[in-house]
């Protein structure tokens, strides 16, 4: 099973940012990996284990904001499609201006 956590937490004040960072660090400490910004994912062995992880998330949730948890099977997770657009950044892939000192 996979546990997916989506969250939208306020970051307007210093206290909000501190709570956001604390929540995010707790997710990472408990084995979650960032899938994309504000979306974290963790592998759970079974439904009982997933329920314990969700209860743990409830313990350290910040007082403000929205947190959503979705539990899906491994088969459902494997059906996820990744659609990636062409990203054009300011990264140059040549050594045209390379200076060796």
What's the pLDDT tens digit per position in 47-100?
999 999 999 999 999 999 999 999 999 999 989 888 887 766 665 555 556 556
Asked whether the beta carbons of 50 and 3 are under 8 A apart, the reply is yes
Q: Count, in order, helices (H) and strands (E) of the chain.
A: 3, 4
Asked whether the beta carbons of 32 and 39 are under 8 A apart, the reply is no
Whole-number Å distance between alpha carbons of 45 and 71: 12
For 64, the 3-state DSSP assignment is coil
Whole-number Å distance between alpha carbons of 62 and 19: 6
Q: What domains lie within the chain, and their CATH numbers?
A: 2-78 (3.30.70.240)
Query: Global pTM?
Result: 0.78
């Amino acid at each position: 099973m996979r546990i997916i956590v989506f969250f939208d937490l306020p970051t307007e004040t210093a206290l909000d940012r501190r709570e956001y960072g604390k929540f995010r660090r707790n997710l990472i400490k408990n084995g979650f990996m960032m899938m994309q910004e504000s979306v974290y994912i963790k592998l759970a062995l079974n439904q009982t284990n997933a329920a314990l992880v969700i209860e743990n998330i409830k313990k350290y949730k910040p007082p403000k904001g929205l947190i959503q948890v979705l539990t899906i099977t491994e088969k459902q997770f494997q059906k996820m499609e990744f659609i990636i657009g062409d990203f054009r950044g300011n990264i140059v892939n040549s050594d045209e201006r390379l200076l060796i000192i």
